[in-house]
Structure formats: C-alpha cells, structure tokens
Amino acid sequence: MKTIKHFIKNNKINLLLYIGGFIILGLSVNIIKASGLGSGAWDTVTINGRDFLNNNIGITWVTLGMIAFTLYFILMVIVLIYRKKAKYLLMIIPIIMVSVFLDVWNILVFQDRQAIQLVYQIILYIAGALLLPFGLTMIVKSSFPAFVFDEFMLMMVDVFKAKKITFVRLGIEFTGILVGAVLGYLTYYHIDGSLGVVNIGSFILAFSLAPVMTYYYKIFKVKRTN
C-alpha cells in the first residue's frame, strides 16, 4: 500500500495526463462518430464491426469497447510473438483504458446519436479531429505504457526494414479503413448504400493525424523516440 501511495505521489502529473488522455481519446472517437463524416481508420473497424455483429449476426449485447478490446488484444499478441519480451504485456493497461472509456462515453452520453445538419456535423468532426491527437499526445507525454498501435507500427517498421515511418503508418491506417469498409459494406450497403462510418473524413484523419500530433508534441515538449 505504501509503495502504491508513493508511486501516486511521485507521478501525479503523469497519472493525470495518462488517465486524461484516455478520457479524451474515448470522447473524441464518439464525437467523430456522431459527426457522421467518417471515423478514424481503426475506429471504423471497431464501429462497423460492432454494427455487423449487432445487425447481421444478431449479437446485440456486444459494445464498442468489447470490439475494441478484442482488436487491440489481437494486435498486442502479434507484437508479443514478434518481440518475445514480457514488457509488452503492459500494453494491456491502455487497451483496457481505451475500451472502457469508449463505452462510458457512448453508453452514458452519446448513445449512438448522430448529427443531421451539416454545420453541426462539421463542428463535431473538427472538434473530434483536434481532440483525438491531443489525447494521444497526453498519453505519450505521461511516459506510461504506450498504446498498442504505437508498438505495432514500430514492429512493422522492423519487419519491412522501412526507412520512413510515415509510409508504414499510412499503410496501417489504410488497412484499417479497408477492413472497416468491408464490414460497412456487409452491414449497410444493402440498406442505404453507405459503408457505415467509413467516409471522406476517414481519409482526412489518416493524413492529418500525424501532422497535428507533431504540433501538439511541440506544445507539450514531447521527445520523439523514433
């Protein structure tokens, strides 16, 4: 107990950044979803995957957090198999945090509601697009266990011997959009001709996320590790 109290006392700021980052991350995903203009790459997999199970398979008790946890856990296992180091098990902490706050915001506040008027859609999308990298930057700044996509991206850099991390990141982003589009097609195309939450905004986020995070890195004075 004393050890825990001592840890909290010495890491108050980092803990606030870490937990706050996940709260903002969960909020931003739900705000972008509510805009209806296109969710982030792997968020399209989570959201369309949940809807596919709910609507097509009839498994109505599955939540966004459950799908997110399953997806992130699979990626963590892949990283663990490749790296063969137990320290990567710590990624389970941010995986749980993200999954919990996705559901907290969606179930208690947003309840899958979506804006109809274009002006509100744009406002929500811009707000979410700015909050998403802000939350991620807070998590990185805390120096606590990184989110699974960071480690997965670094693993893919090693696998492909890539000289530029940008191409690997975009490859991962577009893979997420592709999987999300397939799930959206299976779930929604026969109903309204859409791909679910895959939209033009998904591609904008894929290209804008890194530059906006770079800007936040400068503000927070975050040291890049790669």
User: Between vectors from CA 206 to CA 201 and to CA 207, what angle results, nearest 5°?
Assistant: 100
Classify residue 226: in a domain, yes or no: no
Which residue blocks in the chain are alpha helix, DSSP H? 2-10, 12-35, 41-51, 64-83, 92-105, 118-142, 148-160, 165-184, 190-192, 200-220
In a domain, 67, yes or no: yes
Residue 75 lies in a domain: yes
Tokens at residue 112, please? Answer: 């899958």
Structural domains in the chain (count): 1
Contact 30, 106 (CB under 8 A): yes
User: Is it the case that residue 173 has pLDDT exceeding 80?
Assistant: yes
Give the pTM.
0.92
Residue type, 16: L
Q: Provide the 3-class DSSP secondary structure of residue 158.
A: helix
Q: Per the domain annotation, does 20 fall within a domain? A: yes
Tell me, yes or no, whether 63 lies in a domain.
yes
Q: Measured in whole angstroms, how far is the alpha carbon of residue 108 from the centre of its chain?
A: 19
Tokens of 76: 């963590």
Query: In this prediction, what percent of the chain has a pLDDT beyond 70?
Result: 96
Tell me: the pLDDT tens digits for 97-117?
999 999 999 999 999 999 999
- Give domain status of residue 86, yes or no: yes
Over residues 130-154, the mean pLDDT reads: 89
Please indicate, yes or no, if residue 109 is contained in any of the structural domains: yes
Question: Domain span at residue 41?
Answer: 2-220
- Measured in residues, the chain has a length of 226
Radius of gyration of the chain (CA): 18
**Which residues have a Cβ under 8 Å from the Cβ of 221 and sit 6 or more positions away?**
none
With 80 as the cut, is the pLDDT of residue 224 above it? no
The CA distance from 65 to 47, in Å, is: 9
The answer to whether residue 37 sits within a structural domain is yes
